[in-house]
Chains A and B, each alone.
Chain A
Amino acid sequence: MISTTSLRSRGSEWKQTYFWTMKKNKGMLFLLTALMFVSLPVSCMISLSNWKNSASGESLSVQTLANDFTHLFNTLLSLTTVPLILLFALILCVTLFGYMQKKRSVDLFHSLPVGRAPLLLGRWCTGLTVLFAPLLICFVALGIIAQAYGIAGTFAGLAPKFLWVLLMGTSAFTFSVLMAVCSGTTFDTMISIVGVNIGYPLFILCIFNYIQVILPGVHIDLGDNLTIVTLLAPFAAPFLPFMESDMTTSSLYPTFYLVWWILLTVLMLVGSVRLYQRRKSESAEDTFAFRIPKMVIRFLITAVGGFGLGLLMDPNGGILFYLGVFIGSILAHVVVEALYSRGFRNMKKSMAWYGIYAAFFFAFYGILATGFFGYDTRMPNADDVASVVIQSGYNSEVSGFGCQEVYSQSGQSIAQIAPVLTKPADIQKAVSVHKDIVDLYRKEGYPYRLKGNCGCETTFTYHLKNGKTFQRIYKYYDFQAQPEHTSRMKSIIKKIADLTDYKSGRDAIFYVDPEDVASMTFQLPADEKTGQTTAITDETEKEELFSALKQDFSENKINYSSEEENNLLVEFKLTFRDQIPVKDSRLKILVGGYKGKINLYEGSYSIYDTNSSAYRILKKWEEKDQTR
Chain B
Amino acid sequence: MIKAKELVKTFGCKAALDHMSFSIDGGSIFGLVGSNGAGKSTFLRTLAGVYRPDGGELLVDGEPTFENSRIKGRICFIPDYPYFIPQSTPLEMGTFLSRIYPRWDWSMFQKLNRIFPIGAKKKISTMSKGMQRQAALICALSARPDYLLMDEIFDGLDPVMRQLLKRLISDEVSSRKMTVIIASHNLRELEDFCDHIGLFHKGGVLFEKDIDELKLGICKVQAAFKPNIPGEEAFAPLNIVKWETHGSLVSLVARAGREEVLQKVNSFHPVFSEVLPLTLEEIFICEMEAVGYDIDNILA
A107 to B50, CA, bound (A): 6
Which chain A residues in 87-106 approach chain B with CB under 8 Å? 102, 104-106
- Does B77 interact with chain A (Cβ within 8 Å)? yes
* Complex Cα gap A108–B49 (Å): 10
Residues of B within 8 A of A111 (CB): 45, 48-50, 72, 75-77
The smallest beta-carbon distance between B209 and chain A, in angstroms, is 28
Bound-state Cα–Cα, A115 to B45, Å: 16
Interface residues of B in 36-93 (CB under 8 A from A): 45, 48-52, 67, 69-73, 75-77, 79, 81-85
Chain B residue numbers with a CB within 8 Å of A13 are 69, 100
Q: Which of A24, A107, A282 contacts B83 (CB 8 A)?
A: A107
B243 within 8 A of A: no
Question: With A16-B99, A20-B96, A282-B11 as given contacts, are A113 and B77 in contact (CB-CB < 8 Å)?
Answer: no
- Contact status A114-B50, CB under 8 Å: no
Query: Which residues of chain B are near A24, meaning CB under 8 Å?
Result: 85
In the assembled complex, how far is the CB of residue B123 from the closest CB belonging to chain A, in whole angstroms?
14
Asked if B72 and A277 make an inter-chain contact with CB atoms under 8 angstroms apart, the answer reads: no
**Chain A residues positioned under 8 Å from B71 (CB to CB):** 113
Whether A106 contacts B50 in the complex (CB less than 8 A), given A16-B100, A112-B72, A113-B100, comes out as yes
Q: A113 to B69, Cβ gap below 8 A?
A: yes
A116 proximity list for chain B (CB < 8 A): 67
Nearest chain A CB to B93 CB, angstrom units: 10
Task: Tell me whether A378 is interfacial, beta carbon within 8 Å.
Answer: no
Bound complex: CA A190 to CA B238 (Å): 64
The answer to whether A281 touches B77, judged by C-beta atoms less than 8 angstroms apart, is no
Which of B45, B69, B70, B96 is A281 in contact with, Cβ under 8 Å? B45
Among residues of B, the one whose C-beta sits closest to the C-beta of A106 is B50
Contact assessment for B70 and A9 in the assembled complex, using a CB-CB cutoff below 8 Å: yes
Nearest-neighbor residue (CB-CB) of B72 within chain A:
A113
At the interface, yes or no: A597 with Cβ under 8 Å from chain B? no
Residue of B at shortest CB range from A24?
B85
B51 to chain A, nearest CB (A): 6
* Cβ contact within 8 Å between B50 and A280: no
Judge whether A110 is part of the interface by a CB distance below 8 angstroms.
yes
Q: Measured between C-beta atoms, what is the minimum distance from B16 to chain A in Å? A: 9
Q: Which residue of B lies closest to A280 (CB)?
A: B52
Tell me if B30 counts as interface (CB < 8 A to partner A): no
Contact digits for B94-107, partner A, Cβ 8 Å, 1 yes 0 no:
00110111100000
Name the distance in Å between A2's Cβ and chain B's nearest Cβ: 12
Q: How far is the CA of A553 from the CA of B79 in the complex (A)?
A: 88
Separation in Å of the A535 CB from the closest CB of chain B? 78
Q: For residue A110, which residues in chain B have a CB less than 8 angstroms away from its CB? A: 48-50
Query: Which residues does chain A contribute within 8 Å of B45, judged by CB atoms?
Result: 107, 111, 281
Q: Which of A264-312 contact B (CB under 8 A)?
A: 277, 280-282
Contacts of A112 in B (CB 8 A): 72, 97, 100
Smallest CB–CB gap between B282 and chain A, Å?
33
Whether B83 lies near A114 (C-beta < 8 A) is no
A5 to chain B, nearest CB (A): 9
Report the count of interface residues on A (CB-CB < 8 A): 24
Which residues in A have their C-beta under 8 angstroms from that of B97? 112
Contact residue among B67, B69, B76, B83 (Cβ-Cβ distance under 8 Å from A277)? B67
A118 to B71, CA, bound (A): 16
Question: Complex formed: what's the CA distance from A280 to B97 in Å?
Answer: 23
* Alpha-carbon separation in the docked complex, A312 to B73 (Å): 61
Within the complex, the shortest CB–CB distance from B97 to chain A, in Å, comes to 8
Contacts of A105 in B (CB 8 A): 83
Residues of the B chain whose Cβ atoms lie less than 8 Å from the Cβ of A10:
69
- Considering the complex, give the chain A residue whose CB is closest to the CB of B9: A282
Closest A-chain residue to B136, C-beta based? Answer: A108
A113 to B96, CA, bound (A): 12
**Residues from chain B with Cβ under 8 Å of A16 in the complex:** 99-100
How far apart are the CA atoms of A400 and B67 in the complex, in Å? 73
Contact of B70 among A19, A20, A108, A113 (CB under 8 A): A113
Contact flags (1/0) for A455-470 with B, using CB distance below 8 Å?
A: 0000000000000000
Kindly list chain A residues whose C-beta atoms are within 8 Å of the C-beta of B11. 282
Contact A107 B79 (CB under 8 A): yes
Q: Is the CB of A281 within 8 A of B81?
A: no
From B50, which residue of chain A is reached at the shortest CB distance?
Answer: A110
Which partner residue on chain A sits nearest B48 by CB separation? Answer: A111
- Taking a contact as CB atoms closer than 8 A, the residue among B48, B50, B69, B83 that contacts A9 in the complex is B69
B100 touches A114 (CB 8 A): yes
Q: Which of B48, B52, B83 contacts A104 (CB 8 A)?
A: B83
For A224-248 the 0/1 string (1 means CB < 8 A from B) is 0000000000000000000000000
Most buried by A among B70, B77, B84, B99: B99
Q: Kindly list chain A residues whose C-beta atoms are within 8 Å of the C-beta of B99.
A: 16, 19-20
Whether A113 pairs with B73 at a CB distance below 8 angstroms is: yes
CA distance A15 to B52 in the complex (A): 25
Complex: A579 Cα to B34 Cα, angstroms? 89
Q: Is the CB of A108 within 8 A of B83?
A: yes
Q: Chain A residues near B83: list those with CB within 8 A.
A: 102, 104-105, 107-108
Chain B CB within 10 A, most for which of A10, A112, A280? A112
Task: Give the chain B neighbours of A277 by CB distance below 8 A.
Answer: 67
Q: Which residue of B lies closest to A13 (CB)?
A: B69
User: Assuming the A-B contacts A104-B81, A281-B50, are A113 and B67 also in contact, with contact meaning beta carbons closer than 8 angstroms in the complex?
Assistant: no
A115 to B69, CA, bound (A): 6
Interface centre among A16, A105, A113, A281 (most CB of B within 10 A): A113
Residue of A nearest to B87 (CB): A24
Docked Cα-Cα span, A56 to B283, in Å, equals: 97
- Interfacial chain B residues near A108, Cβ < 8 Å: 79, 82-84
Q: B79 touching A104 by the CB < 8 A rule?
A: yes
Instruction: Give the chain A neighbours of B49 by CB distance below 8 A.
Output: 110-111
Task: Decide: B101 and A113 in contact? CB cutoff 8 A.
Answer: yes
Query: Can you list 17 residue pairs at the A/B interface with Cβ under 8 Å?
Result: A9-B69, A13-B69, A24-B85, A104-B82, A105-B83, A107-B48, A107-B81, A108-B83, A108-B84, A110-B50, A111-B50, A113-B72, A113-B73, A113-B101, A115-B67, A115-B69, A282-B11
- Given contact pairs A106-B50, A108-B79, A111-B45, enumerate 5 new A-B contacts (beta carbons under 8 Å): A9-B69, A19-B99, A113-B75, A116-B67, A282-B11
Q: Which 10 residue pairs are nearest across A and B when measured between Cβ atoms?
A: A113-B73, A113-B72, A104-B83, A111-B48, A107-B79, A108-B83, A113-B69, A111-B77, A110-B50, A16-B99
